[in-house]
């Protein structure tokens, strides 16, 4: 019995300690974002990596999601052949949920894993210590630049992903389901709701923060050589993906 | 006449979760002195060096670098004091994503607005003094041998003309011949630049090459301190044991 209480105590203390460490890490990452010097080269490099190099995977995912949505709506509604209904379901689903969540998960898998592995490798090979001895604040140089890049890039990717996803739905609706392309497009424009777009972009912003902070946090606190790098990478992707999927519910609830 | 101390450590203690790693030690480093800290694994050498680099906060005591106590100084004073220090890490700790010249002039390009040409020229000047070929300037650390990586790490440490150099196990992972070359280079560099140095090592040839004074750590305390020649004739049991083991 005493052992169980002891274990519970240890787990609770460790959880509280980790929450405290993470909170402090988040605070420092944002704090150094607004302090000089601003590492523009490092920031632009990260922005290019997150935004540009993630574009193919995000584009492909959202394109096929739009296509699947159009097809499923058509078959789900018992071959209901209506441009307005299909376009509305595709548009709303992509803008509100699928665009941001899919883009978030893709960026998390591609960029989040890379951030965690890079920073963890730097940690276990003393490169972070070396940065500090070269009069550079590691959090400002490594984390804040990645955070800002992620905050800007993920909403941008979601915006592009939304357009590609809606286009995917249009392709299936017109070429496979033989719907009228003009009517489908007109109906898509009519059904466009700015709030849906804003909801998706707010989610993207939050996902951008989650991906950068979680990946960098686990990378920054990695220890134990190659195994530690692997552990940090895995745990960061799992945690960030889980947080993306749970936070999307709460953000949706805020808008409804 | 009193020695001019560039680093002065007093009553330094460090522990992790009630495990004492460094227990109330005092020592100093004079200007142009080359101090070598030795001791068996787990004696607290690396932790001591991390404290001196400002990477670890001790439980008690003070570390004065050029008159500034970095333990309780504010952030700006601490950063200013640590600017006087150049560090060569055990594994080199070169930045993987940067070329050799970018690694060497990392601080210069970032803080002093060196352009690419000026930075490359400075890097070239330094690597020539360290007997490295100019062709390596555009290479990445992964393309260099262990000995070359150590020399590039030394080049990065001395690039900003520090007053003190720290060398953490400078010959670890190197064959004896390369180790000897690195020791000679460090010795020449320290004398040529007129800086003070603290070296942490297990390597007896490093001690012979580099030390003007030695500190032996044992059981988290300073067990012995003296000149290299005194070490060989010391009657201290721990010194004798260390010499036998190395």
CB contact under 8 A, A132 and B55: yes
Q: Residue B111: its pLDDT value, please?
A: 67
**A128 to chain B: nearest residue by CA?**
B93
Give chain A's length: 256
Q: Could you give the ipTM of this predicted complex?
A: 0.88
Number of C-alpha atoms within 13 angstroms, CB side, residue B45?
25
Contact B93 A125 (CB under 8 A): yes
For B89, the closest of A121, A126, A135 (CB atoms) is A126
Closest residue in A to B75 (Cα) is A137
Q: What local confidence, expressed as pLDDT, does residue B95 receive?
A: 94
Per DSSP (E only), the strands in A43-170 are none
Confidence at residue B112, expressed as pLDDT on a 0 to 100 scale = 62
pTM, full prediction: 0.89
Q: For an interface test with B, which of A14, A120, A128, A135 has the most B Cβ atoms less than 10 Å from its Cβ?
A: A135
With an 8 Å Cβ cutoff, are B82 and A135 in contact? yes
All residues of chain B having their beta carbon less than 8 Å from the beta carbon of residue A10 are none
Across the A:B interface, residue pairs with CB atoms under 8 Å apart total: 47
Q: How much is the pLDDT for A81?
A: 66
Taking CA–CA distances from B85, the nearest residue in chain A reads: A133
Nearest to A129 among B55, B106, B156 (CB): B55
- Distance of residue B4 Cα from the nearest chain A Cα, in angstroms: 24
pLDDT tens digits, residue range A81-138?
677 888 999 999 999 999 999 999 999 999 999 999 999 999 999 999 999 999 899 9
Q: Which of B235, B222, B240, B230 is nearest to B45 (CA)?
A: B222
Asked if A136 and B82 come within 8 Å (Cβ–Cβ), the reply is no
């Amino acid at each position: 019995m005493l052992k169980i209480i002891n274990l519970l105590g240890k787990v609770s203390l460790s959880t509280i300690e980790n929450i405290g460490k993470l909170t402090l890490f988040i605070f420092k990452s944002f704090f150094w974002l607004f302090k000089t010097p601003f590492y523009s080269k490092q920031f632009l490099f990260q922005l290019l990596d997150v935004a540009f190099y993630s574009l193919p995977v995000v584009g492909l995912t959202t394109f096929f999601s739009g296509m699947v949505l159009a097809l499923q709506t058509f078959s789900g509604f018992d071959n209901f052949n209506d441009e307005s209904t299909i376009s509305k379901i595709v548009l709303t689903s992509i803008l509100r949920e699928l665009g941001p969540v899919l883009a978030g998960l893709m960026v998390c898998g591609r960029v989040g894993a890379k951030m965690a592995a890079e920073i963890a490798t730097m940690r276990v090979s003393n490169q972070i210590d070396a940065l500090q001895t070269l009069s550079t604040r590691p959090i400002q140089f490594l984390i804040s630049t990645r955070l800002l890049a992620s905050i800007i890039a993920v909403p941008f990717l979601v915006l592009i992903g939304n357009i590609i996803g809606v286009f995917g739905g249009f392709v299936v609706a017109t070429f496979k389901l033989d719907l009228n392309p003009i009517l489908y497009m007109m109906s898509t424009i009519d059904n466009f709701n700015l709030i849906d777009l804003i909801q998706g972009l707010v989610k993207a912003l939050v996902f951008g923060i989650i991906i950068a902070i979680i990946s960098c946090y686990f990378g920054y606190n990695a220890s134990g050589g190659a195994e530690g790098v692997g552990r940090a990478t895995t745990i960061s992707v799992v945690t960030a993906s889980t947080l993306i999927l749970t936070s999307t519910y709460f953000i949706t609830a805020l808008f409804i | 006449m009193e020695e001019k101390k560039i680093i002065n450590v007093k009553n330094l203690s460090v522990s992790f979760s009630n495990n004492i790693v460094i227990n109330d030690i005092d020592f100093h480093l004079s200007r142009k002195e080359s101090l070598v800290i030795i001791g068996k694994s787990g004696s607290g050498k690396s932790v001591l060096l991390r404290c001196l680099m400002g990477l670890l906060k001790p439980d008690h005591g003070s570390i004065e670098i050029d008159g500034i106590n970095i333990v309780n100084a504010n952030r700006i004073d601490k950063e200013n004091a640590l600017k006087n220090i150049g560090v060569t890490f055990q594994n080199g700790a070169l930045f993987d994503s940067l070329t050799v010249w970018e690694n060497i002039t990392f601080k210069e390009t970032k803080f002093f607005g060196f352009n690419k040409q000026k930075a490359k020229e400075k890097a070239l000047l330094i690597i020539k003094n360290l007997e490295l070929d100019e062709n390596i300037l555009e290479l990445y650390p992964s393309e260099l041998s262990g000995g070359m990586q150590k020399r590039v790490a030394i080049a990065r440490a001395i690039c900003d003309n520090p007053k003190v150099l720290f060398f953490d196990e400078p010959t670890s992972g190197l064959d004896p011949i390369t180790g000897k070359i690195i020791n000679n280079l460090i010795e020449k560099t320290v004398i040529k630049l007129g800086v003070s140095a603290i070296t942490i090592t297990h390597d007896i040839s490093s001690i012979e090459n580099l030390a003007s004074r030695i500190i032996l750590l044992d059981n988290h305390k300073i067990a012995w301190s003296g000149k290299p020649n005194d070490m060989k004739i010391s009657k201290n049991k721990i010194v004798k044991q260390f010499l036998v083991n190395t």
